Amino acid sequence: MSPTCGELRGGDAGAAVTLMGWAFRRRDHGGLIFVDLRDREGVTQCVFNPATGAEAHAAAGRVRGEYVLAVRGTVQARPPGTANPQLPTGEIEVAVGEVRILNESKPLPFHLEEGVEVDEAVRLRYRYLDLRRPRLLRNFLLRDRVYQAVRASLHAAGFVEVETPFLTRSTPEGARDFLVPSRLARGHFYALPQSPQLFKQILMVAGLERYFQIVRCFRDEDLRRDRQPEFTQIDIETAFLDRDDFLPIVEGMIVEVFQAVRGIALPRPFPRLGWDEARARYGSDKPDLRFGLELADCSDLFRDAAFEVFAQAVHAGGVVKALRVPGAGGLSRRDLDGLVEEAKGSGARGMVWVRLAEGGPQASVALFRGDSALTRELAARLGAQPGDLLLLVADAFPLAAEVLGRLRAGLAARLGLIPADLFRPCWVLDFPLLEWSEEEKRWQAMHHPFTAPRDEDVELLWSEPGRVRAKAYDLVLNGQEIGGGSIRIHERRLQQRMFEVLGIGETEARAKFGFLLEALEYGAPPHGGIALGLDRLVAILAGTDSIRDVIAFPKTQKGTCPLTEAPAPVSPAQLAELGLRVEAEEE
RNA sequence: GGGGUCGUGGUGCAGCCUGGUUAGCACACUGGACUGUCAAUCCAGAGGCCGCGGGUUCAAGUCCCGUCGACCCCGCCA
């Protein structure tokens, strides 16, 4: 019998077994030697007793951390009182009769034990060792189950997995492309796809009807904790489905993934919030629904109030947004000053705080102190209790809401209001189709130029483009955007108008994605889809906040790989073959 | 492009504010002891140009300037 190091139990006592794995820890008692043998599945204690295996015992004396071993022996129940309840295999041990040292190991550059924070540059340089650490290994076993669950769910729903090219052409707008020079067409470049967007739409024209792909995407932008230059999407596109038929399919897949991977039953349907509603209530277009702390609008209270700053803001078309933080009245003056600084850091001109203390309200502005009518009205509006903290920001709507939205998220974390292991997905709908670019003085597609307007807003595209809402949707989970998509334009007339509004001329459009436009003229069905960030989804499921922990070989924040030392210079011969010359960097 | 935190034996940290003997601790490592440990224990030992460069000073791990790297954030990411 050749079990893994994670599966032997009390009932296996007496079995002859062969185990292979790494020597995790060794405890040498001179007479007895214990070695914890580790593989992917777990750890099993092996006992080397000179009385029953003199040669093996001698060999075990030479074993060091991470030596690779094959041991042959007998499973035995541990002597009474020596079982280890911490280990799944803790009832038994393997009495080793024979051991082969399959390989030795140098002392490691860092500890594999849990709970020791090692500099990430070191971890990445020795990623193969980092990946041996149970915490990281667990993430990849989980990620594997996510792949399986996604494929099973989508196949069951009639989806077909199709691959699309990595070597493709650069398309305008969106993120910066990674370019690949062509040897055969000198001076021409492929671009690595930011997503298979155009191809998946073309697959709909091709009649695939339901397509998906777990696919790598590339964006040459600056990195973050949740952004890598190459990342993985679950890319989906369907024909003949409008938004309300499509979203439940995606929802079903997410529910099945959570069930299969974590045994968690997410309640369906996922709540749906309008884009305006999400920002008004949560101060974010990716609201975290794991806790309350909803924002309130108090503009009307201040329209004619004696507090000039707020009254003026309201008269200028702005709003007064308020956040009630239950039980946070105990925050120190210093904490509150810190919050005001944070608010200013987010762009607010200022923030008023009110502490509903026992001896009467205290506030950063005199008008709210003591038993003022204004404070009473405000407290009533917000349902505030003694001991609560109220934060108020007056400004233009999006800014005031965003400022408090950030504080809301920060305070929830600091005050411990976010339950562990809670998952609250929601849909955010009805995004604007377009947003005005102050820099370029033109409309830009908020999602992409192929996103369809909502049916009832189509005519506005000719009169008031800024008011057109899109058939676009984001899937948000615990305050993180994990996916976004839209129903696409499949009619030539609408697409034409869209390009006009975006200031993309017929010639330019033809030049840049003529192949898609042409395809749309040959019986394109109504279609739409979504792209889900697999790395972010897996990170959330794994309970880590960095996607680097769920990517086997991630890049550093400067886009380098300490393991391979990529990117690296190439030989002059390689450059010459491509017709490229590298210019010296300017000072 | 901008802001912040950090950089000290292999790893994690202290020392830096307030410059001054031999740079300290834990783990890992090496040798020894030990037949019921599981973070084994006990004894002994080795291992450092304090990221790099420059400056101030009688004297710099410590103060100043620059630079490199890691991380976090803003910009950016349709």
Is-contact A257 A146, C-beta < 8 A? yes
Per DSSP, the three-state class of A188 is coil
Of A173, A191, A286, A176, the C-alpha closest to A222 is A176
Which nucleotide lies nearest residue A121, CA to C1'?
Answer: B70
Residue A414 has what pLDDT? 82
**Quick one: A300 and A268 in the same domain?**
no
Which nucleotide lies nearest residue A87, CA to C1'?
Answer: B38
> Which residues, including other chains, have CB under 8 Å from residue A479's CB and lie 6 or more apart?
A284, A286, A287, A288, A290, A409
**Rg of chain A on CA atoms, in Å:** 30
Q: Tell me if A261 is assigned to some domain.
A: yes
Please give the Cα distance from A114 to A410 (Å, whole number): 28
**Quick one: A208 and A306 in the same domain?**
no
Burial class (CB in 10 A: 0-12, 13-18, 19+), A251: middle
Beta strands in A312-420 (DSSP E): 319-325, 352-357, 360-363, 389-395
Q: How far lies A515's CA from each of A212, A488, A508, A509, in Å?
A: 21, 16, 12, 10
Q: How many CB atoms lie within 10 A of CB A274?
A: 15
Q: Where are the alpha helices (DSSP H) in A108-196?
A: 120-125, 127-130, 134-156
Q: Which residue has tokens 């980092």?
A: A130
Is-contact A228 A144, C-beta < 8 A? no
Structure tokens at A18: 């062969």
Q: Tell me if A563 is assigned to some domain.
A: no
Go through A398-436 and write b for each residue having 16 or more CB atoms within 10 A of its CB, e for each that does not. Answer: ebbbbbbbbbbbebbeebebeeeeebbbbbbbbbbbbee
**19-48 on A, CB < 7 Å from strand B:** 25, 27-32, 34, 36, 45, 47
Identity at A56, one-letter amino acid code:
A
Tell how far CA A504 is from the center of its chain: 33
**Quick one: A201 and A229 in the same domain?**
yes
**425-444 on A, CB < 7 Å from strand B:** 444
State the pairing for strand pair A272-274/A425-429. Answer: parallel
Which nucleotide lies nearest residue A52, CA to C1'?
Answer: B35
**Quick one: A207 and A307 in the same domain?**
no
A25 CA to B39 C1' distance (Å): 10
**Quick one: A150 and A80 in the same domain?**
no
A228 touches strand B (CB under 7 A): no
Q: How many CB atoms lie within 10 A of CB A264?
A: 14
Q: Tell me if A109 is assigned to some domain.
A: no
Q: Tell me if A304 is assigned to some domain.
A: yes
pTM of the model: 0.93
Please give the Cα distance from A201 to A196 (Å, whole number): 9
A322: CATH: 3.30.1360.30
Give the side-chain half-sphere CA count within 13 A for A317.
2
**Quick one: A149 and A75 in the same domain?**
no
Q: Tell me if A440 is assigned to some domain.
A: no
Q: Tell me if A248 is assigned to some domain.
A: yes
Residue A75 has what pLDDT? 97
Q: Where are the alpha helices (DSSP H) in A157-228?
A: 197-205
Residue A585 has what pLDDT? 63
A220: CATH: 3.30.930.10
Structural domain total, chain A:
3
Q: Where are the alpha helices (DSSP H) in A396-526?
A: 397-414, 460-463, 492-502, 506-520
Q: Tell me if A585 is assigned to some domain.
A: no
Question: For each of chain A's 587 residues, which pLDDT tens digit applies?
Answer: 899 999 999 999 999 999 999 999 999 999 999 999 999 999 999 999 999 899 999 999 999 999 999 999 999 999 999 999 999 999 999 999 999 999 999 999 999 987 778 999 999 999 999 999 998 999 999 999 999 999 999 999 999 999 999 999 987 778 999 999 999 999 999 999 999 999 999 999 999 999 999 999 999 999 999 999 999 999 999 999 999 999 999 999 999 999 999 999 999 999 999 999 999 999 999 999 999 999 999 998 888 888 888 888 899 888 999 999 998 888 888 788 888 888 887 888 888 999 988 778 888 887 788 777 888 888 899 999 888 999 999 998 888 999 999 999 988 888 888 898 899 999 999 999 998 887 777 888 898 899 999 999 999 999 999 999 999 999 999 999 999 999 999 988 899 899 999 888 888 888 888 899 999 999 999 999 999 999 999 999 999 989 999 999 999 999 999 999 999 999 999 999 999 998 866 54
A175 touches strand B (CB under 7 A): yes
Q: Tell me if A4 is assigned to some domain.
A: no
**48-87 on A, CB < 7 Å from strand B:** 49-51, 64-65, 78-79, 81-84, 86-87
**Quick one: A266 and A295 in the same domain?**
no
Burial class (CB in 10 A: 0-12, 13-18, 19+), A123: buried
Please give the Cα distance from A254 to A270 (Å, whole number): 10
**Quick one: A263 and A299 in the same domain?**
no
Identity at A532, one-letter amino acid code:
L
ipTM of the complex: 0.92
A55: CATH: 2.40.50.140
Is-contact A427 A475, C-beta < 8 A? yes
Which nucleotide lies nearest residue A451, CA to C1'?
Answer: B78
Is-contact A269 A158, C-beta < 8 A? no
**86-125 on A, CB < 7 Å from strand B:** 86-87, 90, 93, 107-111, 113, 116-122
Of A414, A434, A460, at which residue does a domain stop? Answer: A414
Peptide bond into A567 cis (omega under 30): yes
**Quick one: A68 and A150 in the same domain?**
no
A141 touches strand B (CB under 7 A): no
**In terms of residue numbers, what domain contains A301?**
291-414
> Which residues, including other chains, have CB under 8 Å from residue A390's CB and lie 6 or more apart?
A322, A323, A324, A325, A353, A354, A355, A356, A378, A379, A382, A384
Residue A587 has what pLDDT? 42
**Quick one: A260 and A338 in the same domain?**
no
**Quick one: A187 and A141 in the same domain?**
yes
**531-570 on A, CB < 7 Å from strand B:** 546, 548, 556-558, 560, 562
Nucleotides of B strand lying within 7 Å of any protein CB atom: 1, 10-13, 27-30, 33-41, 69-78
**Quick one: A264 and A364 in the same domain?**
no
A221 touches strand B (CB under 7 A): yes
